[in-house]
Amino acid sequence: MEPVTPSPIIWPNGGELTNEWVHGLMSSFEWSSWNLPPSQLPSLLPVNVFDSLVLTASKILHKERNCVHINDLDSESNVVVVGDIHGQLHDLLFLLKDTGFPCQNRVYVFNGDYVDRGAWGLETFLVLLSWKVLMPDRVYLLRGNHESKYCTSMYGFEREVLTKYGDKGKHVYRKCLGCFEGLPLASIIAGRVYTAHGGLFRSPVLPKKRTKGKKNRRVVLLEPEPSSLKLGTLDELMQARRSVLDPPWEGSNLIPGDVLWSDPSMTHGLSPNEQRGIGLLWGPDCTEDFLKKYELKLIIRSHEGPDAREKRTGLGGMDKGYTIDHTVESGKLITIFSAPDYPQFQATEERYKNKGAYIILQAPDFSDPQFHSFEAVKPRPKAHPYYDFENVIDSDDEMDKSAMDTNDEQPNR
């Protein structure tokens, strides 16, 4: 018996999404990944429906603070923390079914990197936006470093969108970039757990001096020496300007780049993340200081898959989809990665074959993490990569800063 072709998705009258609508969207995307060429996605999800979904979600996201506090929890609540997904739609759908869909007693915090590398970044992002619109106080979408103009132009998402939406592709891509800018940077769960894509951040550089003379007066920012780097505060995080296409690596607005790009280290102190060319490395002493200062028990971050961890000394591999990187007096630092058998397109013959994982936090204090590892959904539908995965610069290596857009120009929304 031939599978029934889904009807084109229609935006509901009044714009109120339902569980049925969101589940229909997920089913349609899964069907299309097997049965439609990418360029026919608009026959299933017309541009006007895309526009309505992204506009509605963007309005919600842009109203959230840089660090969202998730406190509407009770003795029956679970919080699920999810790491990088990277366009692996089928693994996301499995995760949601395996864990249970968002509901009043099941809160989800997604730690960013929804797009790039995998073949279904657009569908993955739109599924998550639909859940955000349906349950805005039960689904939280944080920003990853790949939710940026630079990364999406390098690692496939821009080309994916242009392929799928043709002459409307640039419009769809610009709308996604505008939505990325609205994604919060971090969360604090039940006053006990801090989550962010990369992790910790520095205290920002303040204006130090002015040039002499009244004419052409301008502020000069003095770059700090590595030895003078100080751990940032939550107040400073709240004041950072997150609405940038690409978080800057220089100047006074460094917190977004730190939160999205930084990595833990086994060496004490803060230092520039020279391997990535942006963000920081922070040691166990910084983890302890941050946890103790804010009476937290856990830091949960993502950002490093099996390919990244292969290059790191002193830190565990990502075979199980998670690692405990720092164990200190006040608590733990955890890395969670939710894209199994990553990356989808790999240049080497021998694949990493890593598992993905997610974390469940339960009442009463939500600080005792339960780890759940899972295998990749197989087989995957056949798909072509949207980037030159054999030759592209590794996103774990120093970025091409000349390709980054760190000015104040905003995309057309």
Compute the 3-state secondary structure of the chain and give helix, strand, coil in percent, each to the nearest 5.
30, 15, 50
Token pair recorded at residue 258: 């730190």
Token pair recorded at residue 392: 């592209």
Tell me how far apart the alpha carbons of residues 316 and 318 are, in angstroms, rounded to a whole number: 7
Residue of 146, 197, 303, 326 with catalytic role: 146
Non-local CB neighbours of 371 within 8 Å, separated by 6+ positions: 320, 321, 322, 357, 359
Non-local CB neighbours of 370 within 8 Å, separated by 6+ positions: 359, 360, 361, 362
Tell me how far apart the alpha carbons of residues 347 and 342 are, in angstroms, rounded to a whole number: 12
Q: Does residue 326 carry a catalytic annotation?
A: no
CB 185 within 8 A of CB 242: yes
- With the C-alpha atoms ordered 308, 314, 319, 325, is the resulting torsion angle positive or negative? negative
Question: How far from 392 is each of 84, 123, 150, 151, 352, CA to CA, in Å?
Answer: 19, 23, 13, 11, 18
Tell me how far apart the alpha carbons of residues 248 and 339 are, in angstroms, rounded to a whole number: 27
Token pair recorded at residue 214: 């009244």
Among left, alpha and beta (phi > 0; psi -120 to 50; other), residue 354 is: beta
CB atoms within 10 A of CB 103: 12
- 232-244 b/e (C-beta count within 10 Å ≥ 16 → b): bebebbeebebeb
Non-local CB neighbours of 49 within 8 Å, separated by 6+ positions: 9, 10, 11
Non-local CB neighbours of 226 within 8 Å, separated by 6+ positions: 270, 271, 272
Alpha helices (runs of H) in 11-109, residue ranges in sequence order: 19-35, 41-44, 47-63, 89-99
Going by C-alpha positions, the residue among 90, 201, 193 that lies closest to residue 140 is 193
Catalytically active residues, by annotation? 146
